[in-house]
Amino acid sequence: DPVVPIAPEIPIVPIVPITPVVSIAPEVPIAPEVPIAPVAPIVPTVPISPIDPTAKTHYHEHGIHQRRTGWADGPVYVTQCPIQPGGSYTYRFTTEGQEGTLWWHAHSSWLRATVYGALIIYPKEGSTYPFIKPKKEIPILLAGEWWDANPIDVINRAIRTGAAPNISDAYTINGQPGDFYNCSMKGTKIIRVESGETNLVRVINSALNQPLFFTIANHRLTVVAVDASYTKPFTTSAIMLGPGQTTDVLITTDQPPASYYIAARAYASAQGVPFDNTTTTAILEYEPTVPNAQTAAQLTSKHKHNHKRRFQTSVFPRLPAYNDTPTVTTFTTSLRSSPSNDISVPTHIDEHLFFTVGLGLNPCKPGRSCQGPNNTRFTASMNNVSFVLPSTLSILQAYVQGVNGLFTLNFPKVPPVKFDYTGNVPRALWTPIPGTEAYKLKYGSTVQIVLQDTNIFAAENHPIHLHGYNFYIVGEGFGNFNAKTDTAKFNLVDPPRRNTVGVPVGGWAVIRFVADNPGVWLMHCHIDSHLSWGLAMLFVVENGVGELQSLEPPPADLPKC
Ligand code: C2O
């Protein structure tokens, strides 16, 4: 078994302390006291990275369950072959039983850097929200990124050389980096509100690689939903979203008229250094209470034409520091399902699974030199298997048509070796084994998965997303999961229900769900560099017996490989 020749004595990158101190780190003012993102290091000449016209695409409706319509799920070579340039494919699915904030995105290589959008499911006609009817609804798409390069080239280069990919040159709110970037100041997203409103802000983190904090200056955020599942409302000054996650908050415009900055910035515990060029801003602007209607009209038109702010007074928020894990923990452990969700947490478990999630290093191909640490290549795995996509047929097609050889059903229930996940890692486990491996679940079985950060190389918050399902997050914590003591503390009463769980840095999270949706479903880290490195696995959920439980036949226009 090849052991990577890495210098064993010194950890390559200092690992972020995983047991955070109890006191919450002081929040960092975003401006103007501390120059956060002075001027963008680069001035993108093209507002959006050029899209390769020959690129093959496939869309994923992130969070849509696709009951019986697994063919419309989208991940390339998992549920379909790519749509060829000039080709088309109609995604047919129902939103039945779901409401709230989701999104859609390309699901091939790094195409979702520019191909993404909000997907909002409103309550059915005649039904309402389980909270006060908002005056306005404000969708916020965080962080679709600006690159001074084609993002596909960035990841391909990283894979070729073994190095970590560059981070993007700017993050965005609704497509604009905001006022801290001179080049985009004119385009800064301005959201108009009036005094005395309660508005629903639907926040989506569509960043490729970056968990983000989000806040609005001087406004309390009342959290009412995550990943299109209602929560018991609670109030906070900042929220954290991993890539893939959504959070709905109510805000009340109870402040004096002014321009209030909306801001997002990295929660980047793995990097070990703050990198504030992730800061992106928009503005929540109150209608001026100008008595003279003419003045108001003038101000408005001036604003339109000159992109001038209508207020001299700008109020900047404070955001948690980049490594403020205690604030993240306070936020995630405050989430509780709303009774309006029909909470039904499985209590009897048929399948007890334990999956590690983490990075690793693979040896360089013979005769090549690699740019990872000590001539290695970065990789990632679950249970030490680094997921490899097929390239000739989708796994769902292969499964349905009985084509052999594309994948195995050997994904291990538990890691090959259990070890101390607080940093003392046997080096054999730094070298995952490539494979296309699925785990088969019986239709209707109840499943518990312990997701444990391996802490290999770097402790990071891994946003693990399961296709086809929502799950309950019954517990989370730091260090090694302890089946006895931690199980006793599970919340089986009103745990949050999500489609993406942030596995805490150097810690664990436990999810439960009922495997009642037949199909082939990817589970993966929604940090795209980790997905590209293989931090993924597959579930195959066997068709049920009844007609209603079975998958529809493949659509006629399903793309061919
Ligand atoms: Cu939002 Cu597999 O993705």
pLDDT of 127-141, one tens digit each?
999 999 999 999 999
pLDDT of 359-393, one tens digit each?
999 999 888 899 988 899 999 999 999 999 999 99
pLDDT of 415-438, one tens digit each?
988 888 887 777 766 789 999 999
| DSSP helix/strand/coil, 214 | strand
The better pLDDT of the pair 299, 41 is held by: 299
Q: What ranges in 385-424 are assigned the alpha helix state H?
A: 395-401
CB 524 near ligand 1, within 6 Å: yes
CB 189 near ligand 1, within 6 Å: no
| C-alpha 256, offset from chain centre | 34
Q: Worst-scoring range by mean pLDDT, 16-30, 142-156, 251-265, 301-315? A: 16-30
Task: Yes or no: say if 209 and 271 are a contact pair by the CB < 8 Å rule.
Answer: no
Specify the residue with its C-alpha closest to ligand 1, atom 1.
Answer: 62
Using the predicted structure, report yes or no on whether residue 56 has a pLDDT greater than 90. Answer: no
Task: Yes or no: say if 355 and 537 are a contact pair by the CB < 8 Å rule.
Answer: yes
Q: What ranges in 320-372 are assigned the alpha helix state H?
A: 325-332
CB 244 near ligand 1, within 6 Å: yes
First to last CA, the chain: 35
Task: Yes or no: say if 387 and 432 are a contact pair by the CB < 8 Å rule.
Answer: no
pLDDT of 511-525, one tens digit each?
999 999 999 999 999
Q: Are strands 198-205 and 137-142 parallel, antiparallel or unpaired?
A: parallel
| DSSP helix/strand/coil, 15 | coil
* CB neighbour list of residue 234: distance below 8 Å, 6 or more residues apart: 222, 223, 334, 336
pLDDT of 323-332, one tens digit each?
899 999 999 9
Residues in the chain: 561
pLDDT of residue 211: 94
pLDDT band, very low/low/confident/very high, at 309 (cuts 50, 70, 90): low
Task: Yes or no: say if 204 and 249 are a contact pair by the CB < 8 Å rule.
Answer: no
pLDDT of residue 425: 75
| C-alpha 154, offset from chain centre | 20
* CB neighbour list of residue 302: distance below 8 Å, 6 or more residues apart: 308, 310
pLDDT of 537-555, one tens digit each?
999 998 765 544 578 889 9
CB 265 near ligand 1, within 6 Å: no
pLDDT band, very low/low/confident/very high, at 3 (cuts 50, 70, 90): very low
DSSP-assigned states of every residue in 439-471: EEE-TT-EEEEEEEE--SS----EEEEETT--E
Name the DSSP class of 218: T
Taking the centre of ligand 1 as the mean of its atom positions, its distance from the CA of residue 547, in whole angstroms, is 28
pLDDT of residue 552: 86
pLDDT of 173-222, one tens digit each?
999 999 888 787 888 999 999 999 999 999 999 999 999 999 999 999 99
Closest by Cα among 270, 145, 271 to 207 = 145
**Relative to the CA of 500, which ligand 1 atom is closest?**
1
CB 82 near ligand 1, within 6 Å: no
The better pLDDT of the pair 537, 45 is held by: 537
Taking the centre of ligand 1 as the mean of its atom positions, its distance from the CA of residue 107, in whole angstroms, is 7
**Angle at the Cα of 532 (from 515 to 537), degrees rounded to 5?**
20
Residue ranges and CATH numbers for the domains of the chain are: 30-339 (2.60.40.420), 342-549 (2.60.40.420)
Which element (helix H / strand E) includes 487?
helix 483-488
**Relative to the CA of 62, which ligand 1 atom is closest?**
1
Name the DSSP class of 249: E
DSSP-assigned states of every residue in 168-191: PSB--BTTB--TTSGGGGGG--EE
Using the predicted structure, report yes or no on whether residue 25 has a pLDDT greater than 70. Answer: no
Distance CA 95, CA 66 (A): 8
Distance CA 19, CA 495 (A): 23
CB 62 near ligand 1, within 6 Å: yes
